[in-house]
Structure 1
Amino acid sequence: MKRFPETFDVFVLGAGPAGLCAAIRLLDMGYTVGMLEQEEFPRSQIGESLSPGIRNIFDYLNAGHLLEDAMYLNTISARVIWENKGHIYERPGQNNGGIIVDRSKLDQELLQFTVSKGLYLIQPGKLKQSINSQNGWILDITHNSSEIKINSKLVLDGRGRKGTLLNERVPIAPPAIAVWTHIDNNAVFKEAFVEAIDEGWLWGSPVCKNRYRIMAFTDTVKFKKSELHLLDLMRKTELFAPFVNQLKANAIESCSVTSFVNQTPWNNQFVKIGEAAFTLDPLSSTGVEKAMRFSLQVAIAINTYLKDPDSEHPKNFYEEKMIESVVNHTHWTAEYYQKAWACHDKTEFWIKRTNFQLDISKNKSEFTSKLEKEFNTGRSIFERKHIEPIPVDYILYKIWNEEIVVSSNVTFKSVYAIDNDCIVIKQALIHPNLERPLVYLDQVELFPLLKNMHGKVVSDIVANLNQFMTIEKSKKTFVFLLSNQLLAVA
């Protein structure tokens, strides 16, 4: 083990995807980063099915090569019974879609990649206690029967569900449990299966090492012994019933998958990330992607804090982004559960999930109060229109010498934005045709752009834009603003 620095800028607990993602970004920013992982790697881990957005994240971290493994499975098609009990929907596999990985292998390789970038690692080790001090945090760690004392300005807790005590968890969905196993496959079953039943839903997919994973998600209230419960659910399905006789010798496991958020996720620079911060409903299959994407935002907040410890922006930005993720996810899952045939039949499991009410009475904090307010705020429904190709050159030709004004429906709002890996306050555009406040368009800040366009003719606007972007990008930017009615011909 290499000699540790006297004080770390950031120390990360847990070597899962969320912790490693944050560590890589912070190392790239030049910070001294340490990490504690309790288990030896490789270690068994479920969550093999990763959503398509994971590829962009790995590429951004310059770790995209880790997903290019011959044993990983791509472009898997699926058979789905969801909205109609008697109808099987065929969902074809997509290039650059989701990917089935071996999590024990991928997590180990991502850890090795992070160590190669300068991470200080203690593995295996256990955190005995953490003490908040005037200069940050003091962590007492046991490692190979020895005691290690770590000083760090900040701590990122990425220990998954273990990182949040039961009394710190605010449920954001009804209680749920997952029961799973696998059978030997040998490439016999090449499709994924998803099926809704009265008591929950099941997912199955080929996974690495010639296995087929079968998972059932159901209510904790009616949970029986794992083996009996899984077999009972499978017998009630059309897609999974043929597997029942193949489970006899296979171990069946279970775990809680109740979605929750931590009541005080940023507490004196002890910051929760990944599933220690909030857990998502497995319905979305985006748990790893969302955890890593949120870690990228956390790294920006940490960078801002370390540059200016007195700034309120890092904590506020962190909480704002977490609340946004939690609220969007919970509303999306409720809407998706509502589409299931069993929901239309008024089945208890499904109705509970579409009518869930957030209750913070036992976990009242400044953060949960903000969450409750946003959770209960009516969301405006943004109509997604079919976008036809815009004839850019033709439009410009017709109005080339016309004067342009900013629409009277455009307003501006101060929001958090990211500039050079730091959190700053920027002016965002608000307009009925925009789904959300917009600060940047294709990495170009819009507020000063629109101010300079008002009262100018089109030819001058395009020429001005062409000073700091290509002519094609200049024309497309202008026509986008015009076609969405943020600009108008005078």
Structure 2
Amino acid sequence: MKRFPKTFDVFVLGAGPAGLCAAIRLLDMGYTVGMLEQEEFPRSQIGESLSPGIRNIFDYLNAGHLLEDAMYLNTISAKVIWENKGHIYERLGQNNGGIIVDRRKLDQELLQFSVSKGLYLIQPGKLKQSVNDQNGWTLDIVHNSSEIRINSKLVLDARGRKGTLLNERVPIAPPAIAVWTHIDNNAVFNEAFVEAVDDGWLWGSPVCGNRYRIMAFTDTVQFKKSELHLLDLMRKTELFAPFVNQLKDNAVESCSVTSFVSQMPWNNQFIKIGEAAFTLDPLSSTGVEKAMRFSLQAAIAINTYLKNPDSEHPKNFYEEKLIESVVNHAHWTTDYYQNAWACHDKTEFWIKRINFRLDISNHKTAFTNKLEKEFNTEKSIFDHKQTAPIPVDYILHQLWNEEIAVSPNITFKSVYAIDNDCIVIKQALMHPNLERPLVYLDQVELFPLLKSMNSKPVSDIVIYLNKFMTIEKSKKIAVFLLSNQLLTVAQNSCSLR
């Protein structure tokens, strides 16, 4: 093991995708980063089904080659029974879509990639204690029967569910449990299955190693002996019932999959990421992707903090993004559960999920108070009016010499944005035709653009944008602003407010 620095900028606990993603990004920013992993690799890990967005993240980290493995499974199609009990929906596999990986292999290779970039690693090892003072954190680590003392300005906790104690978890969904097993596949079954039943739902998919995984998600209250419960649920299905006789004496495993968020995810520069901060409902197949994506946002917050430890922006930005992820995911899962045919039978599993209410009475912190406010805010349904392709050239031809004015319905609000890997305050555009406040449009900052273009002809917008991007992109941005009525043909000019 190479000689460790006396003090790290950031020390990461846990070598899963979230921790490694943050470590790689921080190493690229020039920081000294260390990591502790308790287990030896390769290790068994479920969560092999990765959503399509994972590819962009790996490419961004310059690690895209790690997903190019002949044993990984791409473009898996699926049969789904969800909204209608008697109808099988065929979901075709898409090019450059999701991917089934071997997490034993991928996690190990991602760790090796991180070490090659300069990560200092202790593996295996165990955190004995952590102490905070004005200089940061002191970590006492047991490694090979000896004790190592580490000093770090910040600690990133990426230990998954193990990184959050039970009494620190705020449930954001009803309790749930996963029960799963494998059968030999040998390429007999090459598509995934998803099916809702009265007491839960099931997912099946080919996985690496010529196996087919069958997994059920059900209520902890109704959970019985795992083997029997899984078989009972499978017998109620159309898609999984044919597998029942193939299980024989196959080992059946179970674990809690209750969704939660940490009540104090950023505490004295001890910062939780990945599943230590927030666990998704298993209904989503985007767990790894969202954990890594949030790690990238956390890395921006950490970079901003290390440059200016007195700034309030890093923690506020981090908490804002975490709350946004929690609330959006909770609303999405509620809507998806409501669409299931079994929900209309009003069985306990389904009713709990569509009627869930956040309770922070035993977890009151500054963070959970902000979470509660956002969680219980009714979200307006945005009407996506634009369906047909926009005739860009035709619109510009008609309006090319027309003087434009900024819509009187536009307002601006101060929001957090990212500039040069740091958190800054920017003015975001707000308008009834926009789903959310908008700071940038295709990397163009809107506030100074509109301020400078008021009372100018449409042609000036296109010419100005063409200084920074292709003419085609310039025209599309101009037409977006016009077609959404953010800019209008001038009658009386109006100023930004």
TM interval, short-chain normalised: over 0.9
In the TM superposition, what is the alpha-carbon distance from 1:349 to its structure 2 partner?
Answer: 0.4
Give the structure 2 partner of residue 99 of structure 1.
99
In the TM superposition, what is the alpha-carbon distance from 1:88 to its structure 2 partner?
Answer: 1.1
Gaps of 5+ in 2: 491-497
Alignment of 1:370-381 (within 5 A): 370-381=370-381
Alignment of 1:255-294 (within 5 A): 255-294=255-294
- The amino acid across from 1:298 in the alignment is A
In 2, the alpha carbon distance for the partners of 1:482 and 1:386 equals 13
In the TM superposition, what is the alpha-carbon distance from 1:391 to its structure 2 partner?
Answer: 2.1
In 2, the alpha carbon distance for the partners of 1:255 and 1:420 equals 41
Alignment of 1:40-439 (within 5 A): 40-439=40-439
Range that drifts further, 342-351 or 464-473: 464-473
In 2, the alpha carbon distance for the partners of 1:370 and 1:331 equals 17
Show CA shifts across 1:444-482 (max 9, x none).
Answer: 101000001111112233222233333322222111100
In the TM superposition, what is the alpha-carbon distance from 1:290 to its structure 2 partner?
Answer: 0.5
In 1, the alpha carbon distance for the partners of 2:147 and 2:464 equals 63
Give the structure 1 partner of residue 494 of structure 2.
none
- The amino acid across from 1:418 in the alignment is I
TM-score w.r.t. length of structure 1: 0.99
In 1, the alpha carbon distance for the partners of 2:468 and 2:224 equals 64
In 1, the alpha carbon distance for the partners of 2:391 and 2:77 equals 36
In 2, the alpha carbon distance for the partners of 1:264 and 1:69 equals 39
Range that drifts further, 330-339 or 340-349: 340-349
Output the aligned Cα RMSD: 0.9
In the TM superposition, what is the alpha-carbon distance from 1:386 to its structure 2 partner?
Answer: 4.4
Give the structure 2 partner of residue 467 of structure 1.
467
In 2, the alpha carbon distance for the partners of 1:469 and 1:231 equals 58
Over 3 Å counting, the alpha-carbon distance change for 1:386 and 1:487 in structure 2 is closer
In the TM superposition, what is the alpha-carbon distance from 1:367 to its structure 2 partner?
Answer: 0.2
- The amino acid across from 2:94 in the alignment is Q
- The amino acid across from 1:132 in the alignment is N
Give the structure 2 partner of residue 452 of structure 1.
452
| SS of equivalent residue, structure 1 residue 97 | coil
| SS of equivalent residue, structure 1 residue 362 | coil
Give the structure 2 partner of residue 31 of structure 1.
31
TM-score w.r.t. length of structure 2: 0.98
In 1, the alpha carbon distance for the partners of 2:419 and 2:437 equals 16
In the TM superposition, what is the alpha-carbon distance from 1:58 to its structure 2 partner?
Answer: 0.5
In the TM superposition, what is the alpha-carbon distance from 1:6 to its structure 2 partner?
Answer: 0.8
In 1, the alpha carbon distance for the partners of 2:33 and 2:358 equals 36
In the TM superposition, what is the alpha-carbon distance from 1:237 to its structure 2 partner?
Answer: 1.1
Give the structure 2 partner of residue 6 of structure 1.
6
In 2, the alpha carbon distance for the partners of 1:90 and 1:161 equals 34
- The amino acid across from 2:288 in the alignment is V
| SS of equivalent residue, structure 2 residue 357 | coil
In 2, the alpha carbon distance for the partners of 1:168 and 1:489 equals 55
| SS of equivalent residue, structure 1 residue 452 | helix
In the TM superposition, what is the alpha-carbon distance from 1:420 to its structure 2 partner?
Answer: 0.3
| SS of equivalent residue, structure 1 residue 337 | helix
In 1, the alpha carbon distance for the partners of 2:251 and 2:463 equals 68
In 2, the alpha carbon distance for the partners of 1:395 and 1:139 equals 62
| SS of equivalent residue, structure 1 residue 478 | helix
In 1, the alpha carbon distance for the partners of 2:464 and 2:100 equals 47
In 2, the alpha carbon distance for the partners of 1:304 and 1:199 equals 47
In the TM superposition, what is the alpha-carbon distance from 1:86 to its structure 2 partner?
Answer: 1.2
In the TM superposition, what is the alpha-carbon distance from 1:23 to its structure 2 partner?
Answer: 0.2
Give the structure 1 partner of residue 485 of structure 2.
485
In 1, the alpha carbon distance for the partners of 2:285 and 2:461 equals 44
- The amino acid across from 2:82 in the alignment is W
In 2, the alpha carbon distance for the partners of 1:460 and 1:171 equals 53
